């Protein structure tokens, strides 16, 4: 198995114990080889907004512990250039275009998400692990 890029929404579901999706995300993550799971600083930023906004230090620490489990992918200038093309071509939101561009730049085998627009723009790279558990 190759690298799997995790969209921020999945970490949010797992860490914040989403009542419908947390167990599915946790099961998929547990089933994958730990060295194959990757995130970026963009994932980190998106996840930390809520605890920083609300001053929830406990939640922030839970996120920091979760981040430590994953490989880190960089966001060089080429990722931003490609994200601009993806955003223009597929009308993606900026963070989604960056997630997809990052996964493509680092030649990830898969991008796990729950975002239907991202799935369509990814042309087979993205998998909705909420709809299809364990990324199948």
Mean pLDDT for all residues in the chain: 94
Winning range, highest mean pLDDT, from 38-42, 121-125, 128-132: 38-42
Predicted TM-score of the model (pTM):
0.92
Q: Is the pLDDT of residue 136 over 70?
A: no
Q: Domain spans of the chain?
A: 4-135
The share of the chain scoring above pLDDT 70, in percent, equals 96
Mention every residue, 6+ apart, whose C-beta is less than 8 A from residue 5: 38, 39, 40, 73, 99, 102, 103, 106, 108, 110, 111, 112
Per residue in 53-110, pLDDT (tens digit) is 999 999 999 999 999 999 999 999 999 999 999 999 999 999 999 999 999 999 999 9
Considering the four listed CATH numbers 3.30.420.40, 3.40.50.9100, 3.40.50.1010, 1.20.1440.230, the one that applies to the domain covering 4-135 is 3.40.50.1010
């Amino acid at each position: 198995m190759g690298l799997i890029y995790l969209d921020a929404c999945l970490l949010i579901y797992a860490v914040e114990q989403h009542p419908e999706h947390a167990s599915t995300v946790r099961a998929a993550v547990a089933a994958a080889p730990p060295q194959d799971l990757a995130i970026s600083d963009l994932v980190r930023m998106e996840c930390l907004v809520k605890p920083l906004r609300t001053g929830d230090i406990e939640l922030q620490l839970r996120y920091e512990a979760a981040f430590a489990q994953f490989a880190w992918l960089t966001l060089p200038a080429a990722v931003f250039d490609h994200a601009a093309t993806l955003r223009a071509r597929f009308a993606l939101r900026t963070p989604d275009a960056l997630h997809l561009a990052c996964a493509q730049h680092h030649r990830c085998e898969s991008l796990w998400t729950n975002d239907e627009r991202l799935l369509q723009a990814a042309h087979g790279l993205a998998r909705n692990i909420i709809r299809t558990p364990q990324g199948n």
